[in-house]
Structure 1
Amino acid sequence: MAQRIAGRIANRLKLRQLRLLIAVGRHGSIQNAAREMNVSQPAATKMIQDLELDFAVQLFTRTNRGVIATPAGEVLIRHCKLIFAQIANAAEELDDLSEGNSGRIVVGTLLAASSHLLPKAIETMLATRPGVALRVVEGTNEMLMPALRNGEIDMVVGRLPSQRHRQELEQIVLFEEHILAVVGPDHPLARRADLRFSDLEAFGWILPPAQTTLRRQIDQFFVGQDLYVPPMMVESISYLTNRTLIQNNELIGFMPAHVAEQDIALGLLAALSWKVPFGTGPVGVTVREKDNLSPAADGFLTALRQVANAI
């Protein structure tokens, strides 16, 4: 059935219909989407009905306030966004070729990759392909994975999610990471040995945002410590912000070991003598389809693997 539908759609589908579909999903209104597309509401309604006939599914349900995408409508809207993102990527690559560049890559990064893995991979890539145009977008999985699915970015580099954000995506493990509890060099606990969690309880903490895997692990650990609640807490994924706060205040932060490694060696931070009982996990790359990466993105994946092997 799927092949029959695909064959029929290939001969009938128009990009204008897909643009309208995205607009209806965004506005929750066929009337407002029609106005954006500069078509009449009856024409817009007919285009949606034709899509429903072609795909043999209902795409929207009507409510008193407009229309809501059905599960089938949400799936089609997501794929339509990907189609337009791929068209935009193709146009950008053609522009790059005409300007003498050798490709374009958009990389999403999490904290576990931003301080060492990613910069080294970029250096490796530019040494062999200096004409590549590369853009880095920093954020959490909640921000980056939808952009990856929609084709706005080519890959996400960092700690791999264990369960969430894995649908329709491929994960490539680069290495295993562990977490350190770090403080400023003048912190009261900086030079104490054989610390227990009870020694840490009186201090404030810098924690990752609630939607991250590491934060969920931290919260579970705190619950197991008699429902411990920090006396002070800051949520932040900004390494520079966290480092400054830790250096200038009696705060404790969690950082991936290789992220904090250089600052610890320079004496800017100190690792606590307390073995963090959570946070070990894989760091790697998440892509839509590994076999369909552009030549530039595939080359960058190779650079990431080379740097990860050195780490």
Structure 2
Amino acid sequence: MPGTIDPAAALQHSLLSRLKLRQLTLLQAVDRHRSLVRVADQMQLSQPAITKALHEVEDIFGSRLFDRTSRGLVPTAAGEAALHCAKRWLAELEATTRVLTSLEAGRSGRIRLGLTQQVPQQLMASALTHLLDRSPRISVMVREGTTDELVASLVAREIDCAIGRSYDGDASGLIQQAIYEQEPCLVVGAKNVKRLSRGALDWVRLAQLDWILPPPNTPMRRTYNAIFVGAGVQPPMPILETTSLRSIETVLRHEPNAVTIFARDVMLDMERSCDWAALPYRLSWNLPPVSFFTLKEVEVHPTVQSLRRAVNETAQRMMKSAR
């Protein structure tokens, strides 16, 4: 009808014309502290001033963003959406300042790369060498984490691309490309290999050992649980849940019945420096493929494109040499 106002257009106009960066910073501070008193202390303002500022932000968004409860300020559904917006905008701003300071220092730019700890050494070396050997030099930031953590960092605009396991969750704008298949193997302390490798592969017996597994709700933990269930065995309760190589190596060295699953090529990379070894069993399944991740709006960036090509080429050479 003539004269009808589109609510979404009206809200967009309010955000574009009234919202300021300091108000996004305020939202982030409220989310972090959940207390106006602590936010006031952090921002060195009075509590009434913070209360007034929060009311102004809620007026701009046209919704109540936080419920006042006995446990402090709790985001409403609208508040969660506003916080997601604030985090993304502030992350983009931080990334832009880093790029600009990198350019001022004579670099050709900056890229933020995420890696899981089970990326093969050769693939990781290829990625870092490709980036660091560029001329003019580029500034590189590397963050390690599980695939879930790296995808969350991508969506939050905290990193530009990542190499990890294939991701089976839902993430808006995520682009992933499988680049490398890895064979799994059972890994134990080197001194325990002979004792723990007696007999045929038996998942019932293996389930009774002291397992080291990735944290719950990670892609690899879901994969391992499915393997046990497929073998008709209840997934074991692990003695350690971690992706930390140092923690895994320590427990394998000191616990006589400790066992975990690793990519065979990564295990071989680590075998010389860590006191662990693979059991002589061939598993009948592959790990989720190593994949290259980025976001739709970032995939056309020349540095991201050239890095993906370099990593792909290395992965193809690795697979050919493994045949």
TM-score (norm 1): 0.81
Q: For residues 81-128 of structure 1, what are the alpha-carbon distances to aligned partners after superposition, in whole Å with 9 as ceiling and x for unaligned?
A: 221222122111111111111222222221232533222211123233
State whether structure 2 residue 26 is matched by structure 1 residue 20. Answer: yes
The aligned counterpart of 2:82 is 76
> For 2:182, which of 177, 185, 195 is the aligned residue?
177
Aligned residues: 309
- Which letter does structure 1 place at the counterpart of 2:288? G
State whether structure 2 residue 54 is matched by structure 1 residue 32. Answer: no
The aligned counterpart of 2:321 is none
Q: What SS does the aligned partner of 1:254 have?
A: strand
Equivalent residues of 1:182, 1:270 under 8 A apart: yes
Structure 2: distance between partners of 1:266 and 1:35: 49
- Give the CA deviation at 1:70: 0.8
- Which letter does structure 1 place at the counterpart of 2:60? D
> For 1:9, which of 10, 15, 18 is the aligned residue?
15
The aligned counterpart of 1:308 is 315
Cα RMSD after superposing both structures: 3.4
> For 2:98, which of 84, 92, 96 is the aligned residue?
92
Structure 1: distance between partners of 2:167 and 2:303: 25
The aligned counterpart of 1:285 is 292
The aligned counterpart of 1:66 is 72
Q: For residues 230-277 of structure 1, what are the alpha-carbon distances to aligned partners after superposition, in whole Å with 9 as ceiling and x for unaligned?
A: 7x8443323355356546756432112332244579998654343435
- Which letter does structure 2 place at the counterpart of 1:274? Y
Structure 1: distance between partners of 2:65 and 2:235: 47
- Which letter does structure 2 place at the counterpart of 1:172? Q
Q: How does 1:192-271 map to 2 (within 5 A)?
A: 195-198=201-204, 200=206, 203-222=209-228, 225-227=232-234, 229=236, 233-243=239-249, 246=252, 249=256, 251-262=258-269, 270-271=277-278
State whether structure 2 residue 137 is matched by structure 1 residue 126. Answer: no
- Give the CA deviation at 1:19: 1.1
Equivalent residues of 2:114, 2:150 under 8 A apart: yes
Structure 2: distance between partners of 1:64 and 1:262: 53
Equivalent residues of 2:208, 2:236 under 8 A apart: no
Relative distance call for 1:36 and 1:295 in structure 2 (3 A) is farther
State whether structure 2 residue 31 is matched by structure 1 residue 49. Answer: no
Q: For residues 277-306 of structure 1, what are the alpha-carbon distances to aligned partners after superposition, in whole Å with 9 as ceiling and x for unaligned?
A: 555323213334343675544443333233
TM-score (norm 2): 0.78
The aligned counterpart of 1:102 is 108
Equivalent residues of 2:211, 2:236 under 8 A apart: no
- Which letter does structure 2 place at the counterpart of 1:83? W
Structure 2: distance between partners of 1:119 and 1:72: 43
Equivalent residues of 2:58, 2:64 under 8 A apart: yes
Q: For residues 124-166 of structure 1, what are the alpha-carbon distances to aligned partners after superposition, in whole Å with 9 as ceiling and x for unaligned?
A: 2323346122222222245444433333322332112212x63
- Which letter does structure 1 place at the counterpart of 2:77? P
Residue range with higher mean Cα deviation, 298-307 or 58-67 = 298-307
Structure 1: distance between partners of 2:292 and 2:88: 19
Equivalent residues of 2:225, 2:235 under 8 A apart: no
Q: Percent identity?
A: 29
Q: What SS does the aligned partner of 1:111 have?
A: coil
